[in-house]
Protein backbone atom coordinates (compact mmCIF):
# COMPACT_ATOMS: atom_id res chain seq x y z
CA UNK A 1 0.00 0.00 0.00
CA UNK A 2 1.18 3.48 -0.80
CA UNK A 3 2.00 6.12 1.75
CA UNK A 4 -1.08 8.21 0.88
CA UNK A 5 -3.32 5.19 1.42
CA UNK A 6 -1.69 4.69 4.81
CA UNK A 7 -2.14 8.41 5.52
CA UNK A 8 -5.85 8.19 4.64
CA UNK A 9 -6.24 5.27 7.04
CA UNK A 10 -4.60 7.30 9.81
CA UNK A 11 -6.71 10.37 8.96
CA UNK A 12 -9.88 8.27 9.15
CA UNK A 13 -8.86 6.93 12.54
CA UNK A 14 -8.20 10.46 13.82
CA UNK A 15 -11.48 11.79 12.40
CA UNK A 16 -13.31 8.90 14.05
CA UNK A 17 -11.79 9.92 17.39
CA UNK A 18 -12.76 13.55 16.83
CA UNK A 19 -16.35 12.41 16.30
CA UNK A 20 -16.25 10.60 19.64
CA UNK A 21 -14.26 13.11 21.73
CA UNK A 22 -15.28 16.32 20.00
CA UNK A 23 -11.91 17.96 20.41
CA UNK A 24 -8.21 17.17 20.47
CA UNK A 25 -6.63 16.11 23.68
CA UNK A 26 -4.12 13.67 25.01
CA UNK A 27 -5.61 11.02 22.74
CA UNK A 28 -4.19 12.81 19.66
CA UNK A 29 -0.63 12.87 21.00
CA UNK A 30 -0.99 9.27 22.06
CA UNK A 31 -2.37 8.33 18.63
CA UNK A 32 0.87 9.28 16.92
CA UNK A 33 2.90 7.57 19.64
CA UNK A 34 0.93 4.35 19.23
CA UNK A 35 0.72 4.52 15.42
CA UNK A 36 4.10 5.06 13.91
CA UNK A 37 4.14 6.80 10.58
CA UNK A 38 6.67 8.38 8.28
CA UNK A 39 6.80 12.16 8.14
CA UNK A 40 5.15 11.98 4.70
CA UNK A 41 2.23 9.89 5.99
CA UNK A 42 1.78 12.08 9.04
CA UNK A 43 1.88 15.30 6.97
CA UNK A 44 -0.75 14.09 4.47
CA UNK A 45 -2.98 12.70 7.25
CA UNK A 46 -2.77 15.94 9.22
CA UNK A 47 -3.45 18.01 6.09
CA UNK A 48 -6.56 15.94 5.42
CA UNK A 49 -7.77 16.04 9.04
CA UNK A 50 -7.21 19.79 9.35
CA UNK A 51 -9.07 20.42 6.11
CA UNK A 52 -12.02 18.23 7.09
CA UNK A 53 -12.30 19.86 10.49
CA UNK A 54 -12.03 23.34 9.00
CA UNK A 55 -14.74 22.65 6.39
CA UNK A 56 -16.84 20.20 8.43
CA UNK A 57 -20.12 22.14 8.30
CA UNK A 58 -19.83 22.74 4.56
CA UNK A 59 -18.87 19.11 3.99
CA UNK A 60 -21.79 17.83 6.05
CA UNK A 61 -24.20 20.14 4.23
CA UNK A 62 -22.93 18.93 0.87
CA UNK A 63 -22.99 15.26 1.85
CA UNK A 64 -26.52 15.71 3.20
CA UNK A 65 -27.59 17.30 -0.07
CA UNK A 66 -26.51 14.26 -2.09
CA UNK A 67 -27.31 11.54 0.47
CA UNK A 68 -31.01 11.29 -0.18
CA UNK A 69 -32.99 9.92 2.76
CA UNK A 70 -29.96 10.15 5.04
CA UNK A 71 -29.01 12.66 7.72
CA UNK A 72 -25.26 12.97 8.12
CA UNK A 73 -25.64 12.77 11.90
CA UNK A 74 -27.37 9.36 11.55
CA UNK A 75 -24.73 7.82 9.28
CA UNK A 76 -22.29 5.36 10.79
CA UNK A 77 -19.26 7.28 12.10
CA UNK A 78 -16.88 5.49 9.76
CA UNK A 79 -18.97 6.14 6.65
CA UNK A 80 -19.52 9.78 7.49
CA UNK A 81 -15.81 10.41 8.00
CA UNK A 82 -14.82 8.57 4.84
CA UNK A 83 -17.30 10.77 2.99
CA UNK A 84 -16.04 13.95 4.66
CA UNK A 85 -12.46 13.14 3.73
CA UNK A 86 -13.42 12.11 0.21
CA UNK A 87 -15.47 15.22 -0.48
CA UNK A 88 -12.73 17.38 1.02
CA UNK A 89 -10.19 15.78 -1.32
CA UNK A 90 -12.48 16.28 -4.30
CA UNK A 91 -13.08 19.95 -3.58
CA UNK A 92 -9.86 21.22 -2.04
CA UNK A 93 -7.00 18.90 -2.95
CA UNK A 94 -6.31 19.67 -6.58
CA UNK A 95 -3.24 17.43 -6.60
CA UNK A 96 -5.38 14.32 -6.09
CA UNK A 97 -7.29 13.01 -9.13
CA UNK A 98 -11.00 12.33 -8.58
CA UNK A 99 -10.63 8.67 -9.57
CA UNK A 100 -7.97 8.17 -6.90
CA UNK A 101 -10.10 9.85 -4.25
CA UNK A 102 -13.16 7.73 -5.02
CA UNK A 103 -11.18 4.47 -5.25
CA UNK A 104 -9.40 5.18 -1.97
CA UNK A 105 -12.67 6.01 -0.22
CA UNK A 106 -14.19 2.74 -1.44
CA UNK A 107 -11.17 0.79 -0.20
CA UNK A 108 -11.38 2.48 3.21
CA UNK A 109 -15.07 1.62 3.40
CA UNK A 110 -14.30 -2.02 2.57
CA UNK A 111 -11.61 -2.12 5.27
CA UNK A 112 -13.32 -0.18 8.05
CA UNK A 113 -17.05 -0.25 7.29
CA UNK A 114 -19.74 -2.89 7.17
CA UNK A 115 -20.73 -4.95 4.12
CA UNK A 116 -22.75 -2.12 2.53
CA UNK A 117 -20.37 0.75 3.34
CA UNK A 118 -18.41 0.66 0.08
CA UNK A 119 -21.59 0.84 -2.02
CA UNK A 120 -22.95 3.66 0.14
CA UNK A 121 -19.72 5.67 -0.04
CA UNK A 122 -19.36 5.07 -3.77
CA UNK A 123 -22.94 6.15 -4.45
CA UNK A 124 -22.68 9.41 -2.56
CA UNK A 125 -19.24 10.35 -3.87
CA UNK A 126 -20.44 9.60 -7.39
CA UNK A 127 -23.39 11.95 -6.87
CA UNK A 128 -21.11 14.69 -5.53
CA UNK A 129 -18.64 14.27 -8.37
CA UNK A 130 -21.37 14.13 -11.03
CA UNK A 131 -23.54 16.98 -9.80
CA UNK A 132 -21.47 19.43 -7.78
CA UNK A 133 -20.77 22.51 -9.97
CA UNK A 134 -17.41 23.19 -8.30
CA UNK A 135 -16.11 19.84 -9.53
CA UNK A 136 -16.42 20.52 -13.25
CA UNK A 137 -12.64 20.40 -13.74
CA UNK A 138 -12.30 17.11 -11.89
CA UNK A 139 -15.24 15.66 -13.86
CA UNK A 140 -13.50 16.66 -17.09
CA UNK A 141 -10.27 15.12 -15.86
CA UNK A 142 -12.04 11.89 -14.88
CA UNK A 143 -13.79 11.83 -18.27
CA UNK A 144 -10.46 12.20 -20.05
CA UNK A 145 -9.08 9.25 -18.08
CA UNK A 146 -12.11 7.12 -19.06
CA UNK A 147 -11.74 8.01 -22.75
CA UNK A 148 -8.05 7.11 -22.75
CA UNK A 149 -8.64 3.72 -21.15
* pLDDT exceeds cutoff 60 at 144: no
Question: Which tens digit of pLDDT belongs to each residue from 86-139?
Answer: 999 999 999 999 999 999 999 999 999 998 999 999 999 999 999 999 999 998
What's the pLDDT tens digit per position in 56-97? 999 999 999 999 889 999 999 999 999 999 999 999 999 999
**pTM, two decimal places:** 0.91
- Quick count: other Cβ atoms within 10 Å of Cβ 71? 11
Amino acid sequence: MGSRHHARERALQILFQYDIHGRPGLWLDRFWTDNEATDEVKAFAERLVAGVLDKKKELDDLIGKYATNWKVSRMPIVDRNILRAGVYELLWMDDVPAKVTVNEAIELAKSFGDDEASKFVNGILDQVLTKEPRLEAKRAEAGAVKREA
